[in-house]
Homo-oligomer: A and B are copies of this chain.
């Protein structure tokens, strides 16, 4: 650890408070002593202990980012966006992984009430029977911003993308390319974004005169093996499915893997479009059509909102910012003529 203010005060034969004020460039200290203190601080390489002051100020310059996982292009790009503004404002980013378990999420959020961080950015874990109160309690104590996966009924800002519209366009795209039996595959668990996407999906079907049926909506297990198994089961049970809107990137990859294994040719037998930020979507076999979410931007905006609340003390709780996704059409949804 570096030298303390107390020590510097002794060395310079000044009072601790004088040194403290000089370091913070207070107007009540003479230019002369200021320079003297600053020079000495530089010389002995003084670095203030962030947590000592935090006791009085109740501000740590730490923020928490709570995520389901990090090995996913959406979240890793979101972290980049968050980090870009955090670094610029001198804040430090603590990352918490819930692994899609809302019990773990709950205990993390409880812990965050300790004063370890000044604010929280969160993309909630999927989970049924979630208890909203943890969120409410937490956001009474410090600024909290939801991004992407929000939790309705909590008085906190939200940064999302247009899930309804994206799903609607993606589905419409499949139908226009000739699909008659599309499904929406999403991981298990209650999730705001899945809800919206489901609605968008249904809206596109309705527009094409297809009545909604629960069989169009397919849930899959969350883990790697489980979802592979689920996708296999889907094709066993519904061999006539000819289109997939994959709600997450991993599911799309499972669909690709299962299709390959079962000699289902994409896009001839099956068209696939996925919510994904994979930069290499175009290098897949076949290139994957995607709904690209503005991950970096969403992270950036969410963080900016948080710092507005933190630094400018702006009340952002009623903000709800929607940043549109982009549909990138590639070969996996190409029209095929038989």
Contacts and interface: CB of A to CB of B under 8 A. Distances in A.
A55 B58 contact: no
A2 interface: yes
A47 B113 CA distance: 7
Contact of A2 (B2, B80, B113): B113
A325 to B, nearest CB: 18
Nearest to A116: B50
A55 B4 CA distance: 12
Contacts of A323: none
A48 interface: yes
B50 A114 contact: yes
Nearest to A51: B51
A76 B83 contact: no
Contacts of A282: 257
B1 A62 contact: no
A114 B286 CA distance: 51
Nearest to A1: B115
Contact of A280 (B50, B93, B114, B253): B253
Nearest to A286: B285
Nearest to A250: B279
Contacts of A73: 71
- From A62, A114, A257, A260, residue with most partner B Cβ within 10 Å: A114
Interface string A255-269: 011001000000000
A33 interface: no
Interface string A263-291: 00000000000000011101111110000
Contacts of A286: 285
Contact of A1 (B69, B79, B94, B141): B141
A6 interface: no
Interface residues on A, range: 35 or more
Interface string A43-55: 0000111111011
B58 A51 contact: no
Contact of A62 (B58, B72, B94): B94
A79 B83 contact: no
A51 B47 contact: no
Interface in A102-141: 104, 110-111, 113-116, 141
A69 B296 CA distance: 13
A77 interface: yes
A110 B42 CA distance: 13
Contact of A71 (B2, B76, B111, B253): B76
Interface string A162-173: 000000000000
A287 B253 CA distance: 13
A321 interface: no
Nearest to A287: B285
Contacts of A115: 1-2, 49-51
The 9 A-B pairs with the shortest beta carbon distances in the complex, nearest first, are A285-B285, A51-B51, A71-B76, A47-B114, A70-B76, A95-B95, A49-B115, A83-B97, A256-B283
